[in-house]
Amino acid sequence: MRFLSHSVYAGHHNASKHHDIVDVAASNDMFSTLVAAVKAGGLVETLKGDGPFTIFAPTDDAFAALPDGTLEMLLKPENKEVLVSILSYHVVAGKVKAKDVVKLSSATTVEGSKVNIEANSSGVMINNANVIKADVDAQNGVIHVIDKVLLPQEVALQL
């Protein structure tokens, strides 16, 4: 497996133990789009809550790979419901570390739909996204960094 299990929080290995998922994501430049989307979706307080949460966190590059105009459309106030659906599709209740993720074939997201999980010698995939960094710890959960934005089936059909 090509998992890396160190924190991305400001280069300090134990700093994330005192910061929630939102703080950890906000401290890293590769999640600026995700943080903006969480704010636009009104999910900051939820993700600062007790949790625990497992977040499959798309990088800024993953958001940039969406079809032209998609991100801008999702960030508009009138599309908040769709944005929340997409974001909650990246969240699983509980703290699921990499050693446990690799034993699963699927997981039910907070959005209500399942994501497929496939682990093999080349890594772990969540639907069609590769996990590029796993086990980024936070006080209220864990982040697994992915290289694509996950879209619930009904949303994908609309885009």
- Rounded CA-CA distance 57/40 in Å is 16
Domains of the chain (ranges, CATH numbers) = 15-158 (2.30.180.10)
Lookup: tokens for 91 = 């969240």
Q: What residue spans of the chain are helical by DSSP H?
A: 21-26, 32-40, 44-47, 60-64, 70-74, 80-88, 98-101, 153-158
Give residue-wise pLDDT tens across range 65-100.
999 999 999 999 999 999 999 999 999 999 999 999
Give residue-wise pLDDT tens across range 5-57.
333 433 434 445 579 999 999 999 999 999 999 999 999 999 999 999 999 99
User: What pLDDT is recorded for position 39?
Assistant: 95
User: What pLDDT is recorded for position 13?
Assistant: 41
